[in-house]
A and B are shown apart, each in its own frame.
Chain A
Amino acid sequence: MAGFRSTENYIASRDLEVAVNAAVALQRPLLVKGEPGTGKTVLAHEVAKALGLPLIEWHIKSTTKAQQGLYEYDAVSRLRDGQLGDERVHDISNYIVRGKLWEAFTADQQHVLLIDEIDKADIEFPNDLLLELDRMQFFVYETKETVVARHRPIVIITSNNEKELPDAFLRRCFFHYIRFPDRETMEQIVQAHFPDIKQELAREALNVFFQVRGVTELKKKPATSELLDWLKLLMIEDLPPEVLRSQDPKTAIPPLHGALLKNEQDVHLFERLAFLSRRQR
């Protein structure tokens, strides 16, 4: 069947392709988890692009309420308008602000809806969206109308695992865990993003990158997005590949490491390891 496939700038493993296609075919939400920086959010963009559908993004914050995705009743401005004698005040629907889900439900074309970082919200958030995502409809109390999806959107939900999600919610989703890519896949990803990178530079950079990831004590291991940033920097600076290979103790910490190590403890740790390896030599 036609569906989602790896594109030239997004390398998806076969299991991810199957999961996305299952979610599209059965019209159920797809929950994507994985290390930060492995391309969870980008996935939604790529799915939208591959299927030729517009994308609606709903980024979740700790203060986001499920209701905000459906609609909000702006009672305060109605109260104000009431005092000022505005005509609009007689129609309550003037004060209903539509949320992202409503937008996706009533659009005249199928949409891809990204609910980004659902674990940031309150514990009750996923439970409050159960019925809405299952039946793809909800009831507006203020105007006594039921909003039903004209085209069921393809829902992609990402989570960083900061909170566990309720079972009832999980039961309604497909699930995919994006594994950290192995070296071969990583080479493909680098090729996809920088088609004109020097082969030698790419190889040396990947060597350094996987070495850095191999240090188990790191607080935040660099992921794909960090690698890509770093490569971009290396290419802008036009560093020769030899710099990465050199065993010179002064450069034991990789050049432009700021793109890879995001935390001063990690940088210290790396310096210390470099110091130790210098002593052993």
Chain B
Amino acid sequence: MLAHFIVALRGAGIPASITEYLTLLRGMKEGVADYSVDDFYHLSRATLVKDERHLDRFDRVFGEVFKGLEPPEGDLARTLPDEWLRKMAEKLLTEEERAAIEAAGGFDKLMEMLKQRLAEQKGRHQGGSKWIGTAGTSPFGAHGYNPEGVRIGQEESRHRRAVKVWDRREFRDLDDSVEIGTRNIKLALRRLRRFARQGAATELDLPDTIRSTANNAGSLDLKMVPERHNTVKVLLFLDIGGSMDDWVKISAELFSAARAEFKHLEHFYFHNCPYERLWTNNRRRRESEVSTFEVLRKYGPDYKAVFVGDASMSPYEIIQPGGSVEHWNEEAGSAWMGRLTGHFRRSAWLNPMPEAAWGRTHSIGLVRQLMENRMFPLTLGGIEAMTRELSR
């Protein structure tokens, strides 16, 4: 039974090991979990999950294994993003309804209601004004009177019982799906380390002490030096959205490896080509906007700039003012690329597209030219070549 649970966890990408499994068994033998399911859930979570990003996945697998729920793939709560539901509900409701909901506790309450109705609903439903189903007046469901109704792709009932601890899935936000196959990338990035002596003098400098003691006619004269630290500073610029969707996994792995490897790592997002503003958040909302000039001012030329992107776009997005697909850019992308590569003494572009295919896209050639050929494929070999180039 439990072995099955471990296998399911590993299948979901949680790196639970045999040691941890044995620890869990010992914990149960010691009576930590007593005979309560909730305590067993808590114990197994503390034993098997070591990263808060995996907690949500753990909750799903736990629910699946011990409750016989359907596999998480078709999980409704997961496929419908909260925000989208919220927006739709906002759009759908009349003034009075909104006031009524506000009185009942706001949109969170509404979401609660939706969840509740999902739980109550036992069979396929059509018509009516309460149930989620088809052709009703309820704000949820498909083919309703309201043409913009929240459509929920649900054919059959989804028998869901009362919400258990693990079904609440409170750790959803933390799951950023970064797989752990990053060890190799870390090793490749390690080449970038650059050690320098900085800070307080805490280490004995033996050669200097000997020299100085000899000069001092044999009476001891200690010399200290600061310790060596990894001082490399890296700025990561990540292309996000659009054509980059295919490469999300490898980019995320690179990012997660870099984050663990460098103390001074800052990252920004752009779309297709960097222009006058960048984003600190991959949703690229207004509040996470930073001006590119600010980035240039804030981070000194000693930062190594690494761009990650497929550089596949319309050539106008690079060479033409106003060529951006998203907004009117006063200056061409090439001008901004020039500023960035001019400011940061060491820069490189990592491209997740296979190197052999680069020739087929005109814009890749353009970007490569702008980077003065410092474009490398996003493979282990490519990263190594890049680190060699950057640390020259």
Number of contact residues on A: which range applies?
35 or more
CB neighbours of A174 from chain B (8 A): 46-47
Task: Determine if A21 and B32 form an interchain contact, defined as CB atoms under 8 angstroms apart.
Answer: yes
- In the bound assembly, the distance between CA atoms of A83 and B213 in angstroms comes to 12
- Interface members, chain B 231-290 (any A CB < 8 Å): 256, 259-261, 287
B391 proximal to A (CB < 8 A)? no
A19 proximal to B (CB < 8 A)? yes
Task: Determine if B17 and A176 form an interchain contact, defined as CB atoms under 8 angstroms apart.
Answer: no
CB neighbours of B287 from chain A (8 A): 216-217
B204 proximal to A (CB < 8 A)? yes
The segment out of B18-26, B93-101, B154-162, B291-299 that lies at the interface is: B18-26
Task: Determine if B260 and A164 form an interchain contact, defined as CB atoms under 8 angstroms apart.
Answer: yes
Q: How far is the CB of A130 from chain B (nearest CB, A)?
A: 12
A63 proximal to B (CB < 8 A)? yes
Q: Specify which of A163, A170, A174 lies most central, judged by the most chain B CB atoms within 10 Å of its CB.
A: A174
Task: Determine if A22 and B50 form an interchain contact, defined as CB atoms under 8 angstroms apart.
Answer: no
Task: Determine if B17 and A171 form an interchain contact, defined as CB atoms under 8 angstroms apart.
Answer: yes
Task: Determine if B52 and A177 form an interchain contact, defined as CB atoms under 8 angstroms apart.
Answer: yes
CB neighbours of B39 from chain A (8 A): 14, 18
Q: How far is the CB of B218 from chain A (nearest CB, A)?
A: 9
CB neighbours of B256 from chain A (8 A): 164
CB neighbours of A217 from chain B (8 A): 287
Task: Determine if A83 and B219 form an interchain contact, defined as CB atoms under 8 angstroms apart.
Answer: yes
Chain A contact residues: over half helix, strand or loop, or mixed? Answer: mixed
Task: Determine if B220 and A83 form an interchain contact, defined as CB atoms under 8 angstroms apart.
Answer: yes
- Interface members, chain A 99-135 (any B CB < 8 Å): 123
- In the bound assembly, the distance between CA atoms of A79 and B227 in angstroms comes to 21
- In the bound assembly, the distance between CA atoms of A277 and B270 in angstroms comes to 31
* A1 touching B32 in the complex, CB below 8 Å, given contacts A25-B27, A26-B26: yes
A167 proximal to B (CB < 8 A)? yes
A76 proximal to B (CB < 8 A)? yes
* A79 touching B30 in the complex, CB below 8 Å, given contacts A22-B47, A63-B227: no
Task: Determine if A25 and B32 form an interchain contact, defined as CB atoms under 8 angstroms apart.
Answer: yes
CB neighbours of A76 from chain B (8 A): 204, 222
A15 proximal to B (CB < 8 A)? yes
Task: Determine if B220 and A175 form an interchain contact, defined as CB atoms under 8 angstroms apart.
Answer: no
A-B contacts, 23 listed (Cβ < 8 Å): A1-B31, A14-B39, A15-B41, A15-B42, A22-B46, A22-B47, A26-B30, A33-B52, A63-B200, A63-B227, A76-B204, A80-B220, A165-B50, A167-B15, A167-B180, A170-B50, A170-B51, A171-B50, A172-B19, A174-B47, A176-B46, A177-B52, A217-B287
Residues of A within 8 A of B (CB): 1, 14-15, 18-19, 21-23, 25-26, 28, 30-31, 33, 63, 75-76, 79-80, 83, 123, 161, 163-165, 167, 170-177, 179, 216-217
> 4 tightest A-B contacts by CB?
A170-B50, A18-B42, A19-B46, A15-B42
